[in-house]
Structure 1
């Protein structure tokens, strides 16, 4: 059993607009090869593979591995909306910690057609004609679940709540979007560098959908020493949580979308790492909406609820450094490929910790936080540190 897990390799394929690629294999292969090369190991040293893909058919993992071959090792496939990539990473880490594997490949990919509907993008079926388009009301478990079957309405309600209940300035929303676009312009992997305009079926305060892939290789320190793999980034903590009935019963859309769960899981992660929010140098948080950027910055302890406007105006600083929250452009700038976004966040943070994020580098970054959520129902937080 290992007491520590290292991120030995990290790789990503450029995020593309919907319909920009029709091959899961091509995208995944590019990310996998980059991660293995970065780790300085060959594929035959991998003990297990964990894959994540939301919009894939049966056997998608086989397609994802087709460009590097099949070695007969166990392969695990996950499809759980925006939580997929983070779930794959956490299960892979647990496998290393408990001694089932010394070296694991984790890869996430998403390849969606140009004509996908907004509900399909969220991993939901189209509504039948007799189904109501309103967000579910009441206090039953089914009513709580019903709320999440209307994500567009939830995010609209989130925006309204921030404007009317918390008094967030309207121009702060524009500033978050503009900053995401600016940071995306510094990130060669961002989808906004490849589309002249956003797709029209999502409102501007939601992240643009994308096709993309990302991969990481994790291992034990002993494995890294034995085979010469990179050993410069350590996973200090990785915590996961889901919402509770009481949080749902609060009736606050911010909690339906994960505010309370993020706050609770963040404390677990900080406790695991022996750190606090004040120790984080750089973060990639889940900003599927502009409101997510604001709410999650508060829930992670980066700013106060009554200080959101100032935090936005200062360009998301941590330890006084601007743009330290989502230097990649975040989901709003890099784009959101559900099966890959969580791993893409981790790849960006590994690059930041290695001083490899050209043009958007946070100087002296040593400790990093990654946060992802699936419409609030599942929240994951991982903390990395430069060794």
Structure 2
């Protein structure tokens, strides 16, 4: 499993609001074709495929990929909540790194409905019941507020209570997201906003206002991964490889007894910290070596706590990190140059692969006006409650 896996090609389509997109098979086909064209290889060269989506019927992956050809290859459908796209990427990388396949396609897509996320099945246990039970014990439950906002807003309350963080600091993250997205033609929201506008938007929960919450989004993204030998044989020119990758799920600290956990742990702080630790150890580097990051900013609160979980700044210094501009161009590391989930959008199954596409473009120097200067290493963070966290380290192969 030690051989580095090459990202041969990436592709995505412009994200859009629900009701304004094409159907999911069309979106997925376009993203997959873009990735194959970017790699310069035909679909017939792909030996396995992993298709990620959250809201869709079984075998939607086959429905999406059959438009590329009826090649008979294994198509595995993946559903891991908001970490679905990067879970498909993780499986694809494992297949190549283990030698089970030389060329694998990972595609993620989502055709979402307007409004907050909700359950589909109400006649069976909720897989998030542990999270909701723990949240209710820690802060109560309000059935008039979206559950995700209560979970991540609660994490923001826990952080602010511990470190005295100002509401304006959370708002600054949303302002930064829009500023970055202005240079991204794939993003849903590209119009800049001010800190006052963010704070004045309708209050949702804790420090969160509406402009600090990611929108429901439709879209698709894809990546083609291959071995070094396949790249040589097929003339793949992409210089980007996956240097290290880790996937984690919840530990006892997520649901610890009163006093031993808080809402930051409930929403995956420790999952992220452990995945990052594994990646830094396997990659032989540290957070100080990273120049660009795409992290899971489903809410501004999660971006703030993730700075620390990834080790980008010491615990308790997230506010200073923001105020000093260390999360943007000219600072320590550029976080979410794409605009992130807050502004690019969050089509659940596609998000992890859209993050991959952005970082590959950054390392190739193809990111246009949002290009991070001299980017040679990049870090991706994608999390889903339930839970799963995938952290991926990319590098420009020398």
Normalising by structure 2, we get a TM-score of: 0.86
Quick one: structure 1 residues 71 and 138, their matched pair in 2 at CA, closer, same or farther if it must change by over 3 Å? closer
> CA contact under 8 A between 1:119 and 1:126: conserved in structure 2?
no
Looking at structure 1, the residues matched to 369 and 74 of structure 2 have their Cα atoms a distance apart, in angstroms, of 39
Give the distance between the partners of 1:138 and 1:309, measured in 2 at CA.
24
Contact 2:183–2:190, Cα closer than 8 Å, also in 1: no
Check 1:179–1:167 CA distance in 2 against 1; reply closer, same or farther (3 A cut). same
Matched, 1:108 2:118: no
Give 2:245's aligned residue.
Answer: 238
Is 1:109–1:213's contact at 8 Å kept on the other side of the alignment? Answer: yes
Instruction: Check whether the contact 1:184–1:334 (CA below 8 A) recurs between aligned residues.
Output: yes
Asked if the contact 1:81–1:374 (Cα under 8 Å) also holds between the matched residues in 2, the reply is: yes
Deviation digits for residues 128-186 of structure 1 (CA, Å, limit 9, x no counterpart): 9xxx9x9424999xx9xxxxx94332122122223222211111111111111111111
In structure 1, stretches of 5+ residues that fail to align are 144-148
CA distance in 1, matches of 2:171, 2:122: 31
Structure 1 residues 348 and 137 mapped into 2: Cα distance closer, same or farther (>3 Å)? closer
Matched, 1:203 2:210: yes
The answer on whether the counterparts of 1:258 and 1:376 sit within 8 Å (CA) in structure 2 is no
Cα deviation for residue 299 of structure 1 reads 0.8
Preserved CA contact (<8 Å) 2:80 2:387: no
CA contact (8 A) 2:178 2:191 kept: no
Residues in 2 aligned to 1:278 and 1:193: alpha-carbon distance in whole angstroms: 30
Are 2:153 and 2:301, in contact at CA under 8 Å, matched by a contact in 1? no
3-state SS, counterpart of residue 229 of structure 1: coil
Separation (CA, whole Å) in 2 of partners of 1:258 and 1:137: 13
CA distance in 1, matches of 2:337, 2:382: 15
Partner SS, residue 178 of structure 1: helix
Distance, in Å, in 1 between the alignment partners of 2:331 and 2:69 is 43
1:78-93 correspondence runs (5 A)? 78-93=78-93
- 1:236-385 residue pairs with structure 2 within 5 A? 236-249=243-256, 250-317=260-327, 321=331, 324-375=334-385, 377-385=387-395
For the 8 Å contact 1:106–1:217, the answer to whether it is kept is: yes
How far apart, in 1, do the equivalents of 2:218 and 2:94 lie?
Answer: 28
Task: Tell me whether 1:224 sits opposite 2:231 in the alignment.
Answer: yes
8 Å contact 1:259–1:376 — kept in the other structure?
no
SS at 2:222's partner residue? strand
- Counterpart of 1:119 in structure 2 is 117
Using the TM superposition, give the Cα deviation of residue 195 of structure 1 relative to its aligned residue in structure 2, in angstroms: 12
Q: Deviations over 1:91-137 (max 9, x none)?
A: 111111111110001000001133xx4232xx565699xxx9x9424
Q: Is 1:154 the equivalent of 2:154?
A: no
Q: Say if 2:8 and 2:39, in contact at 8 Å, map to a contact too.
A: yes
In the alignment, the residues of structure 2 paired with residue 191 and residue 353 of structure 1 have an alpha-carbon distance, to the nearest angstrom, of 23
- Go from structure 1 to structure 2 and tell me whether the alpha carbon gap of 1:137 and 1:280 turns closer, same or farther (over 3 Å shift): closer
**Which structure 2 residue ranges, 5 or more long, are not aligned?**
141-145
**Does the 8 Å CA contact 1:315/1:323 hold for their aligned counterparts?**
no
Distance verdict in 2 for CA 1:5–1:292, change over 3 Å: same
Tell me by how many angstroms 1:56 deviates. Answer: 1.1
**Range 318-327 or range 253-262, more displaced:** 318-327
* Structure 1 SS opposite 2:108: strand
How many positions carry a matched residue from both structures? 372
Q: What CA distance in whole angstroms lies between the structure 1 residues aligned with 2:82 and 2:378?
A: 20
Give the secondary structure class of the aligned counterpart of 1:359. Answer: helix
Q: CA RMSD, aligned part only? A: 2.9
Deviation at 1:238, TM superposition (A): 0.8
DSSP 3-state at the match of 2:347:
coil
Please, what TM-score do these two structures have when normalized by structure 1? 0.89
Structure 1 residues 38-97: Cα deviation after superposition (integer angstroms, max 9, x where no partner): 101111111111100111112311221143222111111111211211111111111111
